[in-house]
Amino acid sequence: MKNFLVLLFFLFVVLFTDAQSGLYQIIPQPQTMIPSKGIFEINNETKVIANDVCLPEVMLFVEWLNKATGRKFVVEKSTSMPSSNFIFFSANKTFQEMAVPPTVKLPGDLNTLKVDQNEGAYKIVIDERGMMITAVYSTGIFYASQSLKQMLPAAAESGMLKLPYQLTGVRINDSPKFTHRGLLLDCCRHFMSVEFVKKYIDLLGHYKMNVLHWHLTEDQGWRIQIDKYPLLTEVGAWRTEADGSRYGGFYTKADIREIVAYAQKRHVTIIPEIELPGHSCAAIAAYPELSCTKEKIDVENEWGVFKDIYCAGDENTFVFLENVLSEVCELFPSSYIHIGGDEAPKFRWEQCDKCQKRIADEHLKDEAELQTYFIERIAKFLEGKGKKIIGWDEILEGGIPSNAAIQSWRGMEGGKNAAIAGHDVVMSPTSHCYFDYGLASTDLREVYSFDPIPDGLSIKEVSHIIGGECNMWSEHTPQSVVDGMLFPRLLAMSEVLWTYPPQRNYDLFYERVNTHYDRLKALNVDFGFPTVPVKLVSVFLPDGKIKITPVKTFDGVSVAYQLHKNPDVSFTPSDKYIPFSEAIIIDEPARLIYKASFRGKEYREDLVRSFDPHLGANKPLTLSYEPSPYYPGGGTNGLADGNLGSTNFRDGFWQAVAGQNMEVVVDLGKSQLISSVSSNWFHYANAWIFRPSHVAYSISENGTDWEVLKDIQSAISESASGELIIPFIYSFEKRNARFVKMIANNNGPCPVWHDAPGEPSWMFCDELIVR
Ligand SMILES: [Zn+2]
């Protein structure tokens, strides 16, 4: 038996290798694709035939084919196949034997390849007679027609397909691994038009994804018309930006019905997300009585987590939510309603008499259990409407209804625990699925390495992992840049959710991605880059200068740069760039601005690096703390690596601690004349990042006896808004010193005015600079 399994495994690998042989460049990769004899020519006389069950799907395909060729093919309704020159579609329950791949448990792999006759399975056979497309369900026919589109050249997408066109013989057997293959579109932080949402439904269908998770309510905007509460869209859909301008928009019920119908035709299920109890400022701005304080607030115009949430003690909150959800359920046929459940600060509930009374009356332990009470009540209500809930993994913390599903975002652990507890799970960990993150943290290869199945689960538990989702949060992504964030990464997600791990090979996948750029362009997708286009390798030379070498990360990229020495605050970049192909040497503080282009597109993220080959650079440091594993900023010697941080605190050059001070000593190696010590600090109160309250610098000749040079109080208030870089600089008459010490004092827990009062605050530093 063991040998039999091994044989099957090799057979599988052989079939799979054939499938990747480059015959047709299909994404996601079909389960098996075997070249066969014969060539079929599509010409003006080709007949398109379909049976009743799949008529709508075939009509959609023929509509596309007519646009592609400028011809007028019509669909002939029939169940019998002519003898030649045909494209024959048939969805039929008698094709039960067809589903693929076979029931094989791969050695060492828990992923049982099951014959569950799943909805998406289909088969394509092309020989000299014609094309035969069969499936059990019409969904399979829809997916087969997406494969057919990709078997024709990209020119077809721009209506330039010349007939006759020849297709090489092939047998494709295909079916999806996961049943839930999703994309979250956040249309709240930035509004996206009806046409744009429909374009994404088309793209999801084209790449065989089947869930649009539509994020419709947020702190920064309420986007769905609710008849019973008109202020939700009159007030809640609009915010006043920092510059005084108004921003917003919403979907009418007519818009939503149109979008839902459009998605149904493309086998995409729309799951609406109505966030509760947190992320609800826009609703509270419209109806202040929904909050604990009942005070008027504005629709938020900043990003973050806010303390005003729905009051869990007030019955009116539940009346409101039940009325809203009733209207939502009428609009969306999906079996799931997403209720959010993430990032709900409990501060207001702790201070609210009604919430505290609810805790006492319901014999709840604390505010966490009050959230469970809240979610359970909503879940029960939705169950009465024939719906199940799905929520972010936080809702698992207090226990949830048995048919509730979990979307795991804070890593895979929450999803794993949910699967063990018997809940269905959608995986979307920040590590692989957050497409609002730049390519520096999540590039195409990283997404492709994603496996939604965590280690250590039994086969039964694995069966609860129903799929995954990539999340397009839009704080920093207005509609105009969404394409560039989602593509080509969405192609990797589509393949990860469709195929089995042993089938995946990044290099072969990337070859196929390269053939899809022209197709994406024709599909009006303003795609971005697959990975950060160029990496800078910097090394210290023996004389203390920094040598920087550009390394291109993929073929076809060109890079150019400008270098500014001793940039001051008034510094502005020029428009003159020089080709960046050889190493450059940095001998004084400098800012390097570079840009990359690929297929006529400029890389969108700022490519700016600041270097400082100061006296303390590349010298050993002693730290009083462990840098945060999330923001190690270069590790133990990160504050002396000559790299300065950018305006993005996640750039990898900022080193952070939470809730403590930072004490750093640099050993210059020998006594030297110095005249200034400085450090830069990131300040972004919304992200719980505060500049130190004060920073003390000391010097020493022996590392034991210290002389305090200066203890500098922050000139900037703790409540300063926005993302700031705050320097603490001390310059003095030249002094001799071998050791320099910095003690940065944490601002203390987040202040009372903050949205997370009492929580430990972060400090972010990039470098201890000695001159
Ligand atoms: Zn309350």
Ligand 1 geometric centre to CA of 52 (Å): 56
Q: How far apart are CA 676 and CA 145, in angstroms?
A: 68
Lookup: tokens for 430: 């920040």
Q: Decide the pairing of beta strands 130-135 and 86-91.
A: parallel
Q: At residue 13, does pLDDT exceed 80?
A: no
Ligand 1 geometric centre to CA of 757 (Å): 17
Ligand 1 geometric centre to CA of 11 (Å): 62
Q: How far apart are CA 468 and CA 59, in angstroms?
A: 30
Tens of pLDDT, residues 521-553: 999 999 999 999 999 999 999 999 999 999 999
Tens of pLDDT, residues 687-738: 999 999 999 999 999 999 999 999 999 999 999 999 999 999 999 999 999 9
Residue 119: C-alpha distances to residues 136, 141, 207, 469 (Å):
7, 10, 16, 19
Tens of pLDDT, residues 655-680: 999 999 999 999 999 999 999 999 99
Judged by average pLDDT, the poorest of 151-160, 373-382, 600-609, 692-701 is 600-609
Ligand 1 geometric centre to CA of 369 (Å): 14
pLDDT class for 502, splitting at 50, 70, 90? confident
Which one, of 89, 173, 204, 208, lies nearest residue 138 by Cα? 89
- The 3-class secondary structure across 242-266, one letter per residue, is CCCCEEECCECHHHHHHHHHHHHHC
Ligand 1 geometric centre to CA of 77 (Å): 61
Ligand 1 geometric centre to CA of 637 (Å): 48
Tens of pLDDT, residues 636-660: 999 999 999 999 898 899 999 999 9
Judged by average pLDDT, the poorest of 118-132, 254-268, 699-713 is 118-132
* Backbone angles phi and psi of 553, in degrees to 5: -95, -15
Ligand 1 geometric centre to CA of 347 (Å): 10
* Backbone angles phi and psi of 724, in degrees to 5: -125, 150
Ligand 1 geometric centre to CA of 749 (Å): 24
Q: At residue 51, does pLDDT exceed 80?
A: yes
* Neighbour-count burial of 633, counting CB atoms closer than 10 A to its CB (0-12 exposed, 13-18 middle, 19+ buried): buried
Q: What percent of the chain has pLDDT over 90?
A: 87
Q: Using an 8 Å Cβ cutoff, are 283 and 274 in contact?
A: no
Give bridge partners of residue 132 from the DSSP assignment.
Answer: 88, 125
pLDDT class for 31, splitting at 50, 70, 90? confident
Q: What pLDDT shows up at residue 605?
A: 79
Ligand 1 geometric centre to CA of 278 (Å): 12
Q: What pLDDT shows up at residue 551?
A: 95
* Backbone angles phi and psi of 103, in degrees to 5: -70, 100
pLDDT class for 22, splitting at 50, 70, 90? low
pLDDT class for 503, splitting at 50, 70, 90? confident
Q: How far apart are CA 593 and CA 574, in angstroms?
A: 10
Q: At residue 5, does pLDDT exceed 80?
A: no
Q: What is the number of H-type helices and E-type strands within the chain?
A: 18, 35
Q: What percent of the chain has pLDDT over 70?
A: 94
Q: At residue 408, does pLDDT exceed 60?
A: yes
Ligand 1 geometric centre to CA of 494 (Å): 42
Phi-psi label, residue 562: left if phi above 0, alpha if psi -120 to 50, beta otherwise? beta
Q: At residue 272, does pLDDT exceed 50?
A: yes
Q: How far apart are CA 323 and CA 305, in angstroms?
A: 25
Q: What pLDDT shows up at residue 606?
A: 75
Q: How far apart are CA 539 and CA 531, in angstroms?
A: 23
Cα-to-chain-centroid distance, residue 138: 30
Question: Which residues are CB-neighbours of 11 under 8 A, at least 6 positions away?
Answer: none
Q: How far apart are CA 418 and CA 406, in angstroms?
A: 7
Q: At residue 103, does pLDDT exceed 50?
A: no
Q: Report the pLDDT averaged over residues 343-358.
A: 96
Q: Using an 8 Å Cβ cutoff, are 370 and 340 in contact?
A: no
- The 3-class secondary structure across 643-710, one letter per residue, is EECCCCCCCCCCEEEECCCEEEEEEEEEEEEEEEEEEEEEEEHHHCECCCCEEEEEEECCCCCCEEEE
Lookup: tokens for 172: 């494709």
Tens of pLDDT, residues 550-594: 999 999 999 999 999 998 877 788 889 999 999 999 999 999 999
Ligand 1 geometric centre to CA of 33 (Å): 59
Q: At residue 6, does pLDDT exceed 80?
A: no
Q: Using an 8 Å Cβ cutoff, are 127 and 36 in contact?
A: yes
Ligand 1 geometric centre to CA of 313 (Å): 5
Ligand 1 geometric centre to CA of 279 (Å): 15
Q: How far apart are CA 113 and CA 314, in angstroms?
A: 50
Give bridge partners of residue 211 from the DSSP assignment.
Answer: 182, 269
Ligand 1 geometric centre to CA of 686 (Å): 23
pLDDT class for 370, splitting at 50, 70, 90? very high
Q: How far apart are CA 455 and CA 411, in angstroms?
A: 13
Q: What pLDDT shows up at residue 96?
A: 59
Q: What pLDDT shows up at residue 97?
A: 53
Q: How far apart are CA 214 and CA 191, in angstroms?
A: 12
